Amino acid sequence: MNKNPFKAKKYATAKFNRVSIAEDPLQKEEERPNVPQGIMTKCPKCGKVIYTKLLLKNFKMCDECGTHFKVSAYERIIMLLDEGEIIEYDKQLTTKNPLDFPGYSDKLIKLQTQTGLVDGLVTGKGQIEGFPVMLAVMDPAFLMGSMGTAIGEKLTRTFERAMKECLPVIIFTASGGARMQEGIFSLMQMAKVSAAVAKHSEAGLLYITVLTDPTTGGVTASFAMLGDIILAEPGALIGFAGPRVIEQTIGQKLPHGFQRAEFLFEHGFVDKIVPRNHMKHTLGTLLRMHGDEYKL
């Protein structure tokens, strides 16, 4: 954690500019005209105006109140993996619109152009503090990180590859749930990915999930909750049903802090809440403890 990952040259590449702070939805508030584009970022919670460069150095956490800003999948990878390097798999894997849902194919193309992502998940192999790991990171910028057939397939392959190479899997979840536009096919991805998790687990391999804001619906109800160890970022919204759906169902306002990471922690569904600046070292330590040399 001593090395500052943001000094790595990689950060300046074009890929990142596409999902740069200037486009961060947090910035599209009324405050925007007051702040020179991209140079400063305002914390949505405490209102502190932070140098964007400083924010990036600080893992996109507000140095005043600790609020965790949303990060893209590639930003996450830079923060996490040694040298920010990933051998990416299935980068071009995309969905075929299995329901032939009206307008969906066009929407995908538009999103792909906007985000520079093919779908809402990046998978690959890398190292954390010297320990090799299969990593999957969801990107909420792509249709809320919702899981359709492309994401389901990539995740399944991640576990299958990990089994072949006897590697642990770490998944960072950020998703609104199963992708509506792929209907029953999305629902079935929950079973498919859970099956792969189960097999990986039977092989005695480690699986860690890190729940980030937001993790809901079919993702919570499948692989997100199946980790041997479940970590969460502070303040992340985590639940099965979204808060609005629950409010409509029960006809009352939800209590403060309901479905936040701390709430799940209190109810026994999260092992540990880890601030983003401690994530790499925490994961590195866990990986070290599960190394082959310690197996009895």
Partner 1 sequence: MPKGQMEGIVEITPWQKVKLARMPQRPTGLDYIERIFEDFIELHGDRYYGDDHAIVSGVAFLGKQPVTVIAQQKGRTTKENIARNFSMPHPEGYRKALRLMKQAEKFHRPIICFIDTPGAYCGLGAEERGQGEAIASNLAQMMLLKTPIISIVISEGGSGGALALGVADKVYMLEHAVYSILSPEGFATILYKDSSRAEEAAQDMKLTAQDLKQFGIIDGIIAEPQGGAHNDLQKMALDIKEIIETDLQQLIQLPMDTLLEDRYQKYRKI
The neighbour count for residue 205, using CB atoms within 10 Å, is 19
Judged by beta carbon, residue 47 or residue 102, the one nearer partner 1 is: 102
The least distance separating partner 1 from the CB of residue 34, rounded to whole angstroms, comes to 32
DSSP-derived secondary structure letter, 240: S
**How many angstroms separate the Cα of 166 from the Cα of each of 134, 195, 202?**
10, 17, 12
**How many angstroms separate the Cα of 287 from the Cα of each of 127, 212, 225, 234, 280?**
10, 20, 19, 21, 10
- Give the contact letters, 23-62, x = binds to partner 1 (CB under 8 A), - = no: ----------------------------------------
Q: Based on the shown chain and the rule CB under 8 A, indicate whether residue 149 belongs to the binding site for partner 1.
A: yes
The neighbour count for residue 236, using CB atoms within 10 Å, is 22
Q: Based on the shown chain and the rule CB under 8 A, indicate whether residue 164 belongs to the binding site for partner 1.
A: no
Only one of the segments 6-14, 31-39, 55-63, 266-274 lies at the binding site for partner 1 (rule: CB under 8 A); that segment is 266-274
The only residue of 19, 134, 223, 236 in contact with partner 1, by rule CB under 8 A: 223
Q: Based on the shown chain and the rule CB under 8 A, indicate whether residue 240 belongs to the binding site for partner 1.
A: yes
Q: Omega of the bond prior to 214 within 30 degrees of 0, cis? A: yes
- Give the contact letters, 59-98, x = binds to partner 1 (CB under 8 A), - = no: ---------------------------------------x
Q: Is the dihedral of CA 37, 237, 175, 173 positive or negative?
A: positive
The only residue of 53, 88, 246, 265 in contact with partner 1, by rule CB under 8 A: 246
As a whole number of angstroms, the distance between CA 296 and CA 287 comes to 16
Q: Based on the shown chain and the rule CB under 8 A, indicate whether residue 253 belongs to the binding site for partner 1.
A: no
In degrees and rounded to multiples of 5, residue 32 shows phi and psi of -50, -45
The only residue of 269, 275, 288, 290 in contact with partner 1, by rule CB under 8 A: 269
Q: HSE on the CB side for 229, CA within 13 Å?
A: 18
The only residue of 188, 262, 265, 275 in contact with partner 1, by rule CB under 8 A: 188
Applying CB under 8 A, the residues found at the interface with partner 1 are: 98-99, 101-102, 149, 156, 178, 180-181, 183-192, 194-199, 201-202, 217-218, 220-226, 239-241, 245-246, 249-250, 254, 258-259, 267-269
